[in-house]
Amino acid sequence: MRRHETASGSDDEALLRRRVRPADWRQPEPKALYDLAIVGAGPAGLEAAEWAARRGFSVALVERENLGGNSLNAGSVPSKALIRTAQVQDGMREADAFGAPLPEEPSLDFAVAMARMRRIRARVAVYHSAHELAALGIDLFFGAARFAGAHALAVGDARLSFRKALVATGARPHIPDIPGLEQAGYRTSDTVFDMPALPKRLAVMGGGPLGCELGQAFCRLGAHVTIVQNDPKFLPREERDAAEILSWAMARDGMDIRLNTVVTGVRREGDTRVLETLNNAVRGEIAVDEILVCTGRVPNVEGLDLAAAGVAFAPGRGIVVDDFLCSTNPDIHAAGDVCLPLKFTNAAEASARMAARNALQQAGLRHDGAAIPWCTFCDPEIAHIGLQVWEARRRSIPIKSYTVMLSDVDRAITDGQETGFVKIHVAEGSDRILGATIVASRASELINEMAVVMSTGIGMAALAEVVHTYPAQSRALMLAAQAYRRDVDGAVRPPPPSA
């Protein structure tokens, strides 16, 4: 089944199961020696397995749960499907401004919204299904893997010997140790998409990208959402002006954001869960129907017996790797969430390709997290690549920033999407681009142009000359580069004409 085909109704979950973990799957007969054995079949493991298999290497891929990992089953794919539903719901509320008033307030059928999410998840699973992987010549094993030495894995009764191995077991939600939380009950990104009904009141513990994305989505679907974050700064990893715009947008949607607030305990009163909070020595309570815990992720290494393979692990950080993604065992690499601070699907895929090339081709590629774009998929979206201002200051790197507000971009005006900006950071005294931050409705799309620009070494002077379509929001990038040119041209004035 290809992407344009669909399943219907309750068949979607069954279709997903057939693709990500077939009930009738028969374990292959292990080869005497694999070129590459991979533990974990999330985005990183799948990327490395397919890359290696297509180049003629023998590959064993081991997955403990479902193919696709968190990204497909409980992360990027289902969350973006739900976010899209929330965007449509929110857009209907603005129909009056476009001359298309609705006869009544739009309502939501939560069951239909969740069914759409499940249908999309099953469709996206098609290209990484168990049978597709087997067709590539990959030996796929379902079960828990553990190292049985420096060059062997044990999966049930099977022993997989390898020349090289890659650990790509991902990460799982971190659950804070809060009195009463376990007894009261909570959801994480792994279980939130199983909710049978939309909660009237939802508390999101943690104000990171995932908490903000899901919080805003559920708010727009009709829940009263409160984000509780112990950090005094909203989205502390983002640039302050970007975080402030999103904070304003979420407050406009009706969300309650409580910063510098610690949850000291949770109790249950009937169907209600009560969060006991502390903010600057002031105690408070938040009564909700559901709690969503989004307080970070921790690497999955339990049961791997890394010590048996000579692989070092740092608690809270993950498998210890060098710049080439090699562990303390020279024949075992790691990729993705199990070893990287940036826990994004595209970062996992990129690191997996690099690790596979380094392991099998001795490519000598250094991992550079600054070259990977990432995005917080709220409305507006916040996307970033390279250095941020606070990082440059911390490292004493002199930079100059060029900013274009979307309210000065014609296409943003026509679309009614004027909230946001494009900001490009340049090494002072040159046109070398060090980073960019974009706040826009489609910042995740715009940032990819900056990824191409930075990866190919294109500077601001050249970017200023690239012709963009009109009208397009991406022209903001060109306008920022042209602002740089005006700045430079004004600083370097031609000598006055001779008498």
**Class of residue 23 by CB neighbours under 10 A (exposed 0-12, middle 13-18, buried 19+):** exposed
Show which of 295, 312, 332 is a domain's final residue: 295
Full-model pTM: 0.93
337 with 230, same domain: the answer is no
499 lies in a domain?
A: no
CA distance 65 to 495: 70
Q: Which neighbouring-strand residues pair with 298?
A: 172
Q: Judge if 64 and 154 occupy the same domain.
A: yes
Q: What is the pLDDT of residue 103?
A: 84
Shared-domain flag, residues 264 and 343: no
pLDDT in tens, the chain (499 residues): 333 334 455 789 999 999 999 999 999 999 999 999 999 999 999 999 999 999 999 999 999 999 999 999 999 999 999 999 999 999 998 888 899 988 888 889 999 999 999 999 999 999 889 999 999 999 999 999 999 999 999 999 999 999 999 999 999 999 999 999 999 999 999 999 999 999 999 999 998 999 999 999 999 999 999 999 999 999 998 999 999 999 999 999 999 999 999 999 999 999 999 999 999 999 999 999 999 999 999 999 999 999 999 999 999 899 999 999 999 999 999 999 999 999 999 999 999 999 999 999 999 999 998 899 999 999 999 999 999 999 999 999 999 999 999 999 999 999 999 999 999 999 999 999 999 999 999 999 999 999 999 999 999 999 999 999 999 999 999 999 999 999 999 865 566 666 5
Asked if residue 168 and residue 150 are part of one domain, the reply reads yes
Residue 105's domain comprises 7-173+298-361
| pLDDT for the residue numbered 129 | 96
Number of domains forming the structure of the chain: 3
Q: Does residue 304 sit in the same domain as residue 157?
A: yes
Query: Is residue 498 assigned to a domain?
Result: no
Out of 310, 331, 361, a domain closes at 361
In this structure, the answer to whether residues 472 and 391 fall within a common structural domain is yes
Cα within 13 Å of Cα(412), Cβ side: 24
Q: What is the pLDDT of residue 105?
A: 83
- Please indicate, yes or no, whether residues 125 and 33 belong to a single structural domain of this protein: yes
Question: Binding site: which residues?
Answer: 80, 206-213, 296, 337
Specify binding-site residues for NAD(+).
Answer: 206-213, 296
39 contacts 46 by C-beta, under 8 angstroms: no
pLDDT, tens only, 269-304:
999 999 999 999 999 999 999 999 999 999 999 999
- My answer on whether 119 and 235 are in the same domain is no
Q: Same domain for 51 and 115?
A: yes
Same domain flag for 335 and 407: no
Residue 438: give its domain's CATH number. 3.30.390.30
372 in any annotated domain:
no
Same domain, 154 and 235: no
* 417 within some domain: yes
Of the candidates 326, 361, 396, which is a domain's last residue?
361
In a domain, 366, yes or no: no
What residues form the annotated binding site for FAD? 80, 337
Beta carbons of 226 and 212 less than 8 angstroms apart:
no
For β-strands 158-167 and 332-334, DSSP reports them as parallel
Per DSSP, the residues of 252-313 read HHT-EEE-S-EEEEEEEETTEEEEEEEETTEEEEEEESEEEE-S-EEE--TTS-GGGGT--E
For residue 329, the domain's CATH number is: 3.50.50.60
Does 85 map to a domain? yes
**Angstrom distance (rounded) from CA 357 to CA 80:** 31
With respect to residue 388, please indicate whether it lies within any of the assigned structural domains.
yes
Q: Are residues 205 and 279 in the same domain?
A: yes
Please report the sign of the dihedral spanned by the C-alpha atoms of residue 6, residue 8, residue 11, residue 13. positive
Give the per-residue pLDDT at 496.
Answer: 65
In a domain, 369, yes or no: no
